[in-house]
Structure 1
Amino acid sequence: MIPFRTTAAALFAAAVLAAVPATAVAHDGSHPFENCTEAYDNGYRDIPKGDEHYGEHLDRDDDGVGCDQPPSGFVPRDESDDDAGAGAGGATEENADGTDLAETGGSDTTPYIAAGGAAVVLLGGGLMIAARKRRENR
């Protein structure tokens, strides 16, 4: 028989992990980017306030321009080929073999993932303590 606390803790951990929002794989161009990494991957930089891709979360220095510090390997999008999704992470002239690794960094989901991991660790620790106490009481 499984104790109520264990079941409740497992359900809580499952609910926390289910609450983690899914991240978008592609950007359809009609809303702000999730973060500057997504903007850079799609070939956008220096996004002015008022642009459809601008979001306050992209403008950390509050100067009215989002994503104004691109990485060293940034490749701007080809404006003549907007419908084909240029700059979306494929091989470029500089990266013909496609072996460069993706840029890493946090996003809006990082706190949720960290909270889910902490809940799982705490649940596991609680189960270990409960099992140890149960053995000692026999």
Structure 2
Amino acid sequence: MTPLHKATAVAISALALAALPTVAMADQPFKNCTEAYSQGYANIPKDHPRYGPHLDRDKDGIGCDKPPADFTPATEGESGQAEAESGQAEAEKTASDTSGTDETSLAETGGTSTTPWIAAGGAAVVLAGGGLVAFNRKRRVSS
């Protein structure tokens, strides 16, 4: 295997490793309700892929059914997540109850728990590409 083939294999491996956590996390249950609420999920039905029995403390088949007052449901356009209708209605009711409060928080960035994995994968690809460039320049000088 030539050095160029090795460098190409490293770059492809880095891309595969960068994409793996994003794909693997899509069907796993949330670790806790705080994580679910932060990603815009509430009232998660038992048949939902992100549901877990540890999220349903009252054992009624609905996980994370008590969102905090500042809960914002995810919309279909944001990161592909759809909110359960009952949770959306409850969140709208909660939002109307707190409409007179002074908002001083920053705007949402759209980041999720996968953002660091994506950033690390991008950094690995940049480093692998830099290594390829450096290797090719060194090889041309040596020839």
TM-score, normalising length: structure 1? 0.48
Normalising to structure 2: TM-score of the pair?
A: 0.46
Which has the larger helix fraction?
A: 2
